[in-house]
């Protein structure tokens, strides 16, 4: 029997019914009385000086209530890397020059969307085009155009990681190989577009914002920095969010402009992006050039690894500087690497900026590392599973000065995978192949570039006289199911059911700070805060029960299944509800309140815990057309103690779809900085009917840092799909790829080249 | 044993290679300008570091720092 009543039980989402019946309210659905509609005029140039802006005709249009340019705004620069002022480089509207096609220059508020759009058409902007640069290798050259003053050679950020003696490691290797990759971008492609409703109260000077965001706190800071307001005067409320996938961490132009237009007009203002704006002017996965050198012994043991990365940062910083760090980290996982050197540079280019997307830092780098490892295994005559087993991290593994891995189930995952593949995929037909890729990812980052003085996550639990519980937390459910995980953790700790808990999520005015949903941080970090808050309440209830029992202090009490009782004599105890009543009486009639918080300390530089595993893809290649069919996928995942298996399964399926899309078809085509396929007609996603079956095998471990042993689940699984697919093609037809997006023409070309070499 | 002090800030390091790593991790103009006084280019050092395997950028700077960085006990 499980020691838990709630944790680990497949649980339908607490907000699932509201979502599937259409009752759930998203910012997109919201209106307020007297609301205005905002629209943005965007730059048609990738790099240009703004010579003049004439808004007079737009201002005359009946129904237009405000027209603002960059010069009207308070001029605050903002961004997520606010601890480093020069990297907080975003503006509400471009003031002196534009740096990418689609950068907003003017914002309009009008009584209808149609009038706002007409007003936009009436604005005349004179630009002086400047030379632009789109490729990171060009941007870093001495004669490249300067995108931001003070950033020599467009170097936005650098990162160096080194441990061991890399040169000695290569010297001692029996086999050394170098590979160079170009990894292309990917749009997060969430269903709900960026949109914000802002309402400013001129009397109090306070602003309330509802937005589709992954972090109400980051948005509160972004708006207050941009508009030079007191942080506490900006209240952000996150309604239901229709997906983020990393693309909604930054404060985007919808939020700051809706807020400023509301301040100007004294009326609520709503800005909703359309899909074309999403593709041209919101954040996407960081594209990069990557060189990787690996040294191994004859038996396949990795002795040294060296990685060089230049990322295509785009025009601003976003979370791209964090991506650079994570890229250099997760390319080492989940393998023991005794000697390692990494250098990364992020360059500014005249494109929409690249930032965080699901599995950021890991998805492109794992592609390079895992395909290279298969090539090395092939050359050394070692089985792909065996080479991974030989190098797999073990519990307690430490990369000096960088990270330490406590719970670590990669070895049992590999063993399980080997067994399952042998059972399931007994026969391969002609031109079918099996590819493997191992993966790992963080359970929240130990980074404070946002420069918060608060705990990384806080929660408050209030128990009412009838035993119902109000749980207040700022953590963000963006569709990944954290609302359900929050309630399950609180219920388990208090020994009650999820139906006893009312969740009050994601409002900066009523909840304790949480840094938001990115890097798989909510389960571990917010989960710990909730567990601590509920634990405070539990302590009070246990004390009351102990007094009523009159038992010796050495006897432990259990709080479970709505009872509080002696652990060794379960028949001696009380109903949870009765104890709550007594506790409130003894507390001068006040409800019992618990507050908990969590900030990682002494957990290395990256994360307190790492989820990991291995994925296998079976694919068939058509040698005549280059078409690849993904036939089947098996994922073996160690995510510690799974909190909600139903939610985890859904996330694994979604992240696998995204990972295979990165590998197969998702391609943001650009020409001179312009996105050529800004719609779901031309930007190809893997659709439900194209998805293979996905078998998920859970290999549980217990991470001492996570709530009930939980850690990252199912963000890591965005990474292995593309390299496992590339490896499957490699094993099927021998074609090698040093980039993602394996469209039929690319596969066919590689097959032909391979055939030529073979002749 | 002598330690090396960064010529531009208060960072002290026991190893001139380590100091070079610190130096190239800084994004302020003070550090970049000091490189220019030594005939070095920040961008060139970074470019070496990220386009070629090995540690050419750091090694080049470390050599200069070994001579030029103030020594402290």
pLDDT digits (tens, 9 = 90+) for A417-458: 999 999 999 999 999 999 999 999 999 999 999 999 999 999
Chain A residues in contact with B29 (beta carbon < 8 A): 150
Would residue A148 count as lying in a domain? no
Chain B residues in contact with A311 (beta carbon < 8 A): none
What tens digit of pLDDT does each residue of A189-245 get?
Answer: 999 999 999 999 999 999 999 999 999 999 999 999 999 999 999 999 999 999 999
Two tokens, residue A408: 């670590």
Is residue A721 helix, strand or coil? helix
pLDDT attached to residue A553: 80
Specify whether A587 is located in the same domain as A706: no
Q: Which of A550, A570, A598 is the last residue of a domain?
A: A598
Chain A residues in contact with B47 (beta carbon < 8 A): 140, 153
CA distance A405 to A332: 12
Would residue A149 count as lying in a domain? no
CA distance A636 to A318: 33
pLDDT attached to residue B1: 65
Would residue A57 count as lying in a domain? yes
Would residue A152 count as lying in a domain? no
Let me know: does A106 contact A93? Beta carbons within 8 Å: yes
**From A346, which residue of chain B is nearest by alpha-carbon distance?**
B50
The answer to whether the Cα torsion of A343, A347, A351, A356 is positive or negative is: positive
pLDDT attached to residue B69: 92
Partner-chain residue, chosen from B41, B50, B53, that has the shortest CB–CB distance to A345: B50
Two tokens, residue A587: 């507390």
Partner-chain residue, chosen from B32, B53, B57, that has the shortest CB–CB distance to A293: B53
What tens digit of pLDDT does each residue of A113-165 get?
Answer: 999 999 999 999 999 999 999 999 999 998 999 999 989 899 999 999 999 99
Would residue A122 count as lying in a domain? yes
Specify whether A94 is located in the same domain as A229: yes
- Section A625-633 average pLDDT: 97
**From A149, which residue of chain B is nearest by alpha-carbon distance?**
B29
Partner-chain residue, chosen from B21, B29, B49, that has the shortest CB–CB distance to A150: B29
What tens digit of pLDDT does each residue of A74-124 get?
Answer: 999 999 999 999 999 999 999 999 999 999 999 999 999 999 999 999 999
Question: Quick one: residue A615, left, alpha or beta (phi over 0 = left, psi -120 to 50 = alpha)?
Answer: beta
Chain A residues in contact with B43 (beta carbon < 8 A): 140, 142, 152-153, 155
Is the per-residue pLDDT at B52 higher than 90? yes
Residues belonging to chain B with any Cβ–Cβ distance to chain A shorter than 8 Å: 21, 24-25, 27-29, 32, 41-43, 46-47, 49-55, 57-58
- Report the number of secondary-structure helices (H) and strands (E) in chain A: 18, 32
Say yes or no: ipTM exceeds 0.95.
Answer: no
Would residue A81 count as lying in a domain? yes
**From B41, which residue of chain A is nearest by alpha-carbon distance?**
A152
Query: Which is nearest to A436 in space by CA: A601, A578, A613?
Result: A613
Specify whether A84 is located in the same domain as A197: yes
Query: Distance, in angstroms, between A320 CA and closest chain B CA?
Result: 16
Specify whether A214 is located in the same domain as A84: yes
Specify whether A288 is located in the same domain as A277: no
Specify whether A582 is located in the same domain as A610: no
Query: Distance, in angstroms, between A345 CA and closest chain B CA?
Result: 7
pLDDT attached to residue A130: 98
Specify whether A474 is located in the same domain as A535: yes
CA distance A514 to A455: 8
Residues belonging to chain A with any Cβ–Cβ distance to chain B shorter than 8 Å: 84, 86-87, 140, 142, 150, 152-153, 155, 157-160, 162, 167, 178, 291, 293, 306, 308-310, 341, 343-345
User: Hey, are the CB atoms on A152 and B47 less than 8 Å from each other?
Assistant: no
Partner-chain residue, chosen from A84, A150, A344, that has the shortest CB–CB distance to B50: A344
Is residue A613 helix, strand or coil? strand
pLDDT attached to residue A193: 98
- Report the number of secondary-structure helices (H) and strands (E) in chain B: 4, 3
pLDDT attached to residue A2: 66
User: Hey, are the CB atoms on A160 and B50 less than 8 Å from each other?
Assistant: no
Cβ-count burial of A470 within 10 angstroms (0-12 exposed, 13-18 middle, 19+ buried)? middle
Q: How much of chain A exceeds pLDDT 70, in percent?
A: 100
Chain B residues in contact with A178 (beta carbon < 8 A): 53
pLDDT attached to residue A758: 76
Q: Which of A583, A598, A613 is the last residue of a domain?
A: A598
Q: Can you spell out the DSSP letters for A81-129?
A: -TTSGGG--B-SS-SSEE-STT-EEEEEEESSHHHHHHHHHT-EEEEEE
Number of domains forming the structure of chain A? 3
User: Hey, are the CB atoms on A306 and B49 less than 8 Å from each other?
Assistant: no
Angle between helices A363-380 and A320-330 (to 10 degrees): 20
Specify whether A290 is located in the same domain as A217: no
What tens digit of pLDDT does each residue of A327-341 get?
Answer: 999 999 999 999 999
Specify whether A489 is located in the same domain as A626: no
pLDDT attached to residue B2: 76
Specify whether A495 is located in the same domain as A644: no
Mean pLDDT of chain A: 97
Query: Which is nearest to A200 in space by CA: A178, A179, A223, A218?
Result: A223
User: Hey, are the CB atoms on B53 and A160 less than 8 Å from each other?
Assistant: no
Chain B residues in contact with A293 (beta carbon < 8 A): 53
Q: Which of A152, A165, A324 to mutate to test the interface with B (most CBs of B within 10 A)?
A: A152
Would residue A219 count as lying in a domain? yes
Is the per-residue pLDDT at A554 higher than 90? no
Query: Distance, in angstroms, between A125 CA and closest chain B CA?
Result: 34
Q: Which of B13, B21, B27, B59 to mutate to test the interface with A (most CBs of A within 10 A)?
A: B27
Would residue A186 count as lying in a domain? no
Chain A residues in contact with B18 (beta carbon < 8 A): none
> How many A-B residue pairs are in contact by the CB < 8 A criterion?
56
User: Which residue segment(s) compose the domain that A218 sits in?
Assistant: 31-130+191-243+248-281
CATH of the domain at A640: 3.30.365.10
Chain A residues in contact with B42 (beta carbon < 8 A): 152-153, 155
User: Hey, are the CB atoms on B27 and A345 less than 8 Å from each other?
Assistant: no
Specify whether A534 is located in the same domain as A611: no
Q: Tokens 């009038």 appear where?
A: A115
Specify whether A668 is located in the same domain as A543: no
Q: Which of A257, A281, A305 is the last residue of a domain?
A: A281
CA distance A164 to A339: 4
């Amino acid at each position: 029997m499980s020691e838990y009543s709630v944790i680990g039980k497949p649980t339908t989402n607490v907000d699932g019914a509201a979502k599937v019946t259409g009752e759930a309210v998203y910012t997109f659905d919201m209106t307020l009385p007297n609301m205005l509609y905002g629209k943005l005029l965007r730059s048609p140039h990738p790099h240009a000086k703004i010579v003049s802006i004439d808004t007079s005709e737009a201002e005359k249009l009946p129904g237009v209530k405000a027209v603002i340019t960059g010069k009207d705004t308070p001029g605050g620069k903002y961004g997520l890397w606010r601890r480093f002022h020069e990297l907080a480089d975003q503006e509400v509207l471009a003031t002196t020059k534009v740096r990418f096609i689609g950068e907003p220059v003017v914002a309009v508020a009008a009584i209808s969307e149609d009038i706002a759009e007409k007003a936009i058409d009436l604005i005349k902007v004179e630009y002086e085009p400047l030379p632009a640069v789109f490729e990171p290798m060009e941007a870093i050259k001495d004669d490249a155009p300067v995108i931001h003053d003070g950033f020599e050679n467009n170097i936005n950020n650098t990162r160096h990681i080194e441990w061991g003696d890399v040169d000695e490691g290569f010297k001692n290797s029996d086999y050394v190989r170098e590979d160079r990759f170009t990894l292309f971008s990917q749009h997060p492609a969430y269903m709900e577009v960026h949109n914000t409703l802002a309402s400013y109260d001129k009397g109090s000077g306070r602003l309330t914002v509802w937005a589709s965001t992954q972090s109400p706190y980051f948005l509160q800071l972004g708006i207050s920095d941009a508009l030079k307001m007191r942080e506490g005067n900006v209240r952000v409320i996150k309604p239901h969010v229709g997906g983020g996938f990393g693309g909604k961490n930054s404060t985007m132009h919808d939020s700051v402009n809706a807020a400023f237009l509301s301040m100007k007009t004294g009326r609520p203002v709503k800005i909703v992006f359309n899909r074309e704006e999403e593709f041209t002017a919101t954040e996407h996965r960081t594209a990069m050039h990557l060189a990787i050198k690996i040294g191994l012994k004859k038996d396949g043991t990795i002795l040294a690894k060296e990685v060089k990365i230049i990322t295509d940062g785009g025009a601003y910083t976003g979370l791209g500087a964090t991506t650079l760090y994570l890229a250099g980290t997760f390319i080492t996982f989940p393998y023991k690497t005794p000697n390692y050197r990494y250098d990364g540079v992020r360059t500014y280019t005249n494109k929409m900026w690249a930032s965080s997307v699901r599995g950021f830092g890991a998805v492109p780098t794992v592609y390079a590392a895992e395909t290279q490892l298969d090539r090395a295994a092939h050359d050394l005559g070692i089985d792909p599973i065996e080479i991974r087993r030989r190098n797999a991290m073990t519990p307690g593994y430490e990369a000096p000065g960088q990270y330490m891995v406590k719970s670590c189930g990669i070895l049992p995952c590999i063993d399980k995978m080997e067994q399952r593949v042998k059972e399931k995929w007994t026969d391969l037909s002609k031109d079918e192949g099996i590819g493997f890729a191992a993966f790992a990812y963080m359970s929240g980052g130990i980074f404070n570039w946002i420069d918060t003085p608060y705990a990384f996550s806080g929660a408050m639990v209030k128990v009412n006289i009838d035993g119902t519980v109000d749980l207040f937390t700022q953590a963000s459910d963006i569709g990944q199911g954290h609302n359900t995980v929050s309630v399950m953790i609180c219920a388990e700790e208090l020994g009650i059911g999820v139906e006893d808990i009312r969740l009050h999520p994601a409002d900066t005015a009523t909840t304790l700070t949480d840094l938001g949903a990115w890097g798989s941080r909510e389960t571990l970090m917010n989960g710990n805060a909730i567990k601590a808050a509920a634990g405070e309440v539990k302590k009070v209830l246990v004390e009351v029960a102990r007094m009523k029992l009159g038992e010796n202090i050495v006897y432990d009490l259990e709080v479970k299944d709505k009872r509080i009782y002696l652990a060794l004599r379960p028949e001696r105890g009380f109903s949870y509800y009765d104890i709550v009543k007594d506790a409130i009486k003894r507390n001068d009639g006040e409800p019992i309140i618990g507050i908990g918080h969590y900030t990682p300390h002494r957990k290395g530089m990256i994360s307190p815990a790492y989820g990991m595993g291995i994925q296998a893809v079976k694919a068939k290649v058509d040698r005549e057309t280059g078409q690849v069919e993904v036939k089947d996928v098996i994922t073996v995942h160690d995510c510690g103690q799974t909190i909600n298996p139903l939610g985890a399964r859904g996330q694994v399926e979604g992240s696998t779809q995204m990972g295979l899309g990165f590998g197969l078809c998702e391609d943001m085509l650009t020409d001179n900085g312009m996105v050529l396929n800004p719609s779901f007609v031309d930007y190809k996603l893997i659709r439900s009917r194209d998805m293979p079956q996905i078998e998920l095998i859970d290999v549980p471990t217990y991470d001492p840092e996570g709530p009930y042993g939980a850690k990252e689940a199912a963000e890591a699984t965005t990474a292995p799909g593309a390299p496992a697919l590339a490896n499957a093609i490699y094993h099927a037809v021998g074609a090698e790829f040093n980039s993602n997006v394996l469209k039929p023409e690319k596969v066919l070309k590689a097959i032909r080249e391979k055939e030529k070499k073979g002749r | 044993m002598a330690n090396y002090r960064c010529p531009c800030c208060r960072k002290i390091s026991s190893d001139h290679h380590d100091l070079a790593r610190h130096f190239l991790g800084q994004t302020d103009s003070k550090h970049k300008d000091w490189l220019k006084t030594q005939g070095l280019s920040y961008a060139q050092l970074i470019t070496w570091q990220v386009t070629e395997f090995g540690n050419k950028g750091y090694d080049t700077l470390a050599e200069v720092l070994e001579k030029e960085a103030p020594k402290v006990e």
